[in-house]
Structure 1
Amino acid sequence: MGNEGSIDSSGGTGKPSLILPIANEFSPGAPKNNPVSLQIVLRIVSENSGRDAQVEAIRSHYFYNAAEKQSDPQLRRLQQKQLASNVLIGMDSFKIYDEKTEDLTDIGAHLLSLPSEFEANRSFAKHILLTLNGTEILRIIRSMEKGGRAINKTSLAEELNRYGFVTKAGGPISTSSKNHLILLSWLRKANVLPKSGYNINNDELKAIIGTSVDDADDAIALSDRQKVFASTLRRDFEINGVRDVFVKDLRALCQAQHPTVFGRTDDLRKAIINPLVMDGWITHSETKGGRSKGRGRGGASGTVSVTEKLVSLDPEYLGLADLAGIPGEVRNHLSRPITQIIEELSSDDTGVKGLALETLSVRILYELGLTPVAFRERGSENNGAEVDLIAEGADTHFHRWMVQCKNMAKVPVSALAKEIGMAVLYKAQVILIITTGEFTKTVHLHAKQLSETSSHQAILIDKFGLQIYFDEGVTGLFREMGLQARDILEWKLPQRRALVE
């Protein structure tokens, strides 16, 4: 399973953030009587110098009949110009126009130079997919489909927020916003999506960017060591083309460039090479001629080479960062029924059990309106018995949570003591411990003392609280946490009285 080294929460595909572009009136569906055409609007901007002239030209071409209900001609014209200005704002957000220079970007100029509108739409779709997180949005759509969830404007906006997407200003995406739908409408122009509905055309997608949604899913779900190995081999391809690379040499590069992640290599063939071969990322050949000529022994023997699947993949998906701190394989399991997750918590396979615990923890945090930002330990490293992570929330104020999930019969006080130390280190206000078993009496006592004597607070959810969540969903979960919150408030009353005195 995934992260085996340091934490990096910069985003699922290695991109620094997941920003949804502002579209406004830059939409192939608006205005209805004369919808925006990509190359036409690019040409209008190119042929007019300065923003004022560009706004007037766009108004004259697309919005001369807009705001018909406005009886005052001057106010009507003003509203029309605002609509035209919104087109430029959208073009700037999609990085084909630069509001500072008041001119097309290099990408915009390239799209204008293409011989047909269809080719321009396909090239624009590629730009959206690879540089504006379009592929990530398609992955989320696919995940919703697999989970049997209805996909519409509201549900998709909610899911984008869950996965860490933000507006250009950094805030959450409003469920009333149409920006995500307009982005998808540009992909529809390139036949990546149908005219209506959300059935992704994987063949068209692969023809445009060389990667299907399924390939992207597979890449994100790789462990960090597998990602390092595959990305290092891919970089060799970019320099030397297709060739056989000695495993021993590649291992040395991986260890030099990622010493923390690639510290263990005794299971190189079993944990890294064989899975990558099985999934079609690489080929592996035992080198003929004996050990000396093979440049390696045991798992480090032989050579590896890239496959078309690896070569065509957007390398961003081999980055070590995980979307909103969520490991790839956990993200791929979030859409599974809760009943299946509960079953797997009792699996004899520690890998299955650990993944189920991680998935459960992320689901609960989502239900609480929190965002996981970093996993500190992984189930595969502790027999699937626990997972530690950091989560954050921002409703009326910012708050950080230290979260530990334990799949064991009895949780000792040392678990809480560890989280208290981590809370001080990471400046967290809340400690949440969830267990499939029970807490000892000492844990409850120390949680009470923590609330009485410090600014921290501990929330404890045991197997009975989990059962309420399984039976009643988020409503039961909030009720249980509300009861504990009232206890914590009572325990902290002496602190408030001390402040008043």
Structure 2
Amino acid sequence: MESNELPYGTQFTPNVVDLRVILQLIKDNEGAETSAFIDRLVAAFFSSNAANSQKTMAGNCKNSLVAYGILRTSGGIHISEFGDYLYGITDDIELYDAFARHILKNLNGLVLIDTIRKLNREGIRITNESVIDALNKRGFNYKKTANNPQSMKLWLEKAGVLAKWRINENKINELVDLSEGEMELLKELRPEQYYFLKALCNTGSDEFQKAADVRDLATATYGITFQEKAFGTAVLNPLEEKGLIEKQRTTEGRGAKTPQVKLTELTKRDIVIPFLEQMSGIIGEDVSRYYQKTLQEIRNDVNSTDTYVKGVALEALAIKIMSIIGLDFVQTRLKGSETGGAEVDVLFDSSSLLYSRWQVQCKNTSKVSLDQVAKEVGLSHVLKTNAIVIMTTGTVSENAREYANKIMRSMNLCIIIIEGSDIDDIVHEPTKIVSIFNRESLAAKHIKVLET
């Protein structure tokens, strides 16, 4: 299961089908052609529907069984190992508990639960639409009419994990052996701590290992860069303080002390790696936690002496400011093969404004150079963006502005510049963003008109 995806669940919900009957149908039709199995599904669950929609509904149900890991993807009908495990459970309560545990552990169910928690904390009314909106802000890509969250919710209700959209925390802890507090502890990790812990979990060892070896494994596996001089204070000490690793020092060679680490009882649990995997595909919780702060509070954190804090705060400020004009958050810190290893802070889409894809680069520097703007222009070809927003707490150099104007004359691209004084105006009066964008758009229009 992709980290930013919930399984397809159309026509596969407990108010439409009976899980135990479905499992028996699969066993009875093991090895049969898909068309024959779909006919059995129609007879069992969809015969009362309009004749022209029966097979479509049954086909959707079959596809959902694959998405939920009950059917294998090979040709014909073949039960999966997990489906066979469910089939062998005779008690109904155990059956639905096992299915819910599978959803939470393997199908991003914990992301759904965490999203519901977040909406609750923010006082937002929880509906399928508001859940989809919150998931999309965390890197998912669903239309507002998608039923993936609703389908999952109904199965979790069947096991008592949810009651409507209310969470039964005790039931979750019972099923996955991870409390809400422990999940929050893991979510608070900074990227370098997160990837180090993930690499340590991946070793599968209960013994002490050299921290430097685990660090090298994290770098090789995930491409994460560590600051060697600050490695102990920035990574090892916080993980030890949170009770996520044990650390000891041994004297080797000429008295040099080499730290060694191992997992604690908490991080040895089977659920930890799946939980870390599920959290890896969403925007950092440090960023999402900023949604609950005011613009002024976020602006204050942009001035933090902690480089990580001020970097995250600036990204959060960009997300919050761009949402004022109705842009839909797509992704943060996009990097890798699709951008040639370079990095874009925030991407947005819009279905209502003139430009459909927006690329926002956040700079917490006194001056933005021509080279920095040029890099964003280069990335716009790869990302297919229509508008680039350069957001800086400082100013943009004259050379960079002249370059931006030249690009706008020759390309179908708009470059919008938001400087520190503009940010302060928006923080003081959020509606000022309209006049600022109108100013930049009008300037871009004049530049393009002059060239025609």
**TM alignment of 1:87-486, pairs within 5 A:** 87-98=61-72, 100-166=75-141, 173-193=142-162, 195-199=163-167, 201-236=168-203, 238=204, 240=205, 242-247=206-211, 250-251=214-215, 253=217, 257=220, 261-287=224-250, 291-292=251-252, 297-298=256-257, 300-301=258-259, 303-312=260-269, 313-318=271-276, 322-323=280-281, 326-365=283-322, 367-374=326-333, 389=345, 391=347, 393=349, 395=351, 402-407=359-364, 410-412=366-368, 414=369, 416-424=370-378, 427=381, 429=385, 430-439=387-396, 444-467=401-424, 469-470=426-427, 473=430, 476-478=432-434, 480-486=436-442
Distance 1:37 1:395 in 2: 40
Residues 333, 359 of structure 1: 8 Å contact kept: yes
Distance 1:371 1:163 in 2: 8
Structure 1 window deviating more from structure 2 (93-102 vs 179-188): it is 93-102
| Structure 1 residues 37 and 297, CA gap change in structure 2 (3 angstroms) | farther
Q: Deviations over 1:267-306 (max 9, x none)?
A: 232111110011111122344xxx238x9735x33x3221
Tell me which of 438, 448, 452 is aligned to 1:492. Answer: 448
Q: Deviations over 1:427-479 (max 9, x none)?
A: 26533111345556665454334322444432012345435544665x65355
Residues 12, 65 of structure 2: 8 Å contact kept: yes
| Structure 1 residues 334 and 217, CA gap change in structure 2 (3 angstroms) | farther
Distance 1:127 1:23 in 2: 15
| Structure 1 residues 152 and 476, CA gap change in structure 2 (3 angstroms) | farther
Letter in 1 for 2:149: H
Counting matched residue pairs gives 436
Structure 1 window deviating more from structure 2 (95-104 vs 124-133): it is 95-104
Task: Please provide the CA RMSD for this pair.
Answer: 3.6
Distance 2:230 2:295 in 1: 33
State the Cα distance separating 1:188 from its structure 2 match: 1.7
| Structure 1 residues 189 and 356, CA gap change in structure 2 (3 angstroms) | same
TM-score normalised per structure 1: 0.74
Distance 1:220 1:89 in 2: 33
Letter in 1 for 2:174: A
Residues 110, 278 of structure 2: 8 Å contact kept: no
Pair 1:20 & 2:1 matched:
no
Q: Deviations over 1:312-367 (max 9, x none)?
A: 2432454699536x344323433434343133234455443333212212334555
Tell me which of 31, 47, 65 is aligned to 2:28. Answer: 47
Residues 434, 462 of structure 1: 8 Å contact kept: yes
State the Cα distance separating 1:417 from its structure 2 match: 3.5
Unaligned runs of 5+ in 2: 336-342
Q: Deviations over 1:180-227 (max 9, x none)?
A: 11211111222222x22332x333223323334544443344233323
| Structure 1 residues 462 and 235, CA gap change in structure 2 (3 angstroms) | closer
State the Cα distance separating 1:310 from its structure 2 match: 1.0
Structure 1 window deviating more from structure 2 (328-337 vs 135-144): it is 328-337
| Structure 1 residues 28 and 477, CA gap change in structure 2 (3 angstroms) | farther
Identify which of structures 1 and 2 has the higher relative contact order when contacts are C-alpha pairs closer than 8 Å and 6+ apart.
1
Structure 1 window deviating more from structure 2 (272-281 vs 82-91): it is 82-91
Unaligned runs of 5+ in 1: 1-14, 31-35, 68-75, 167-172, 377-386
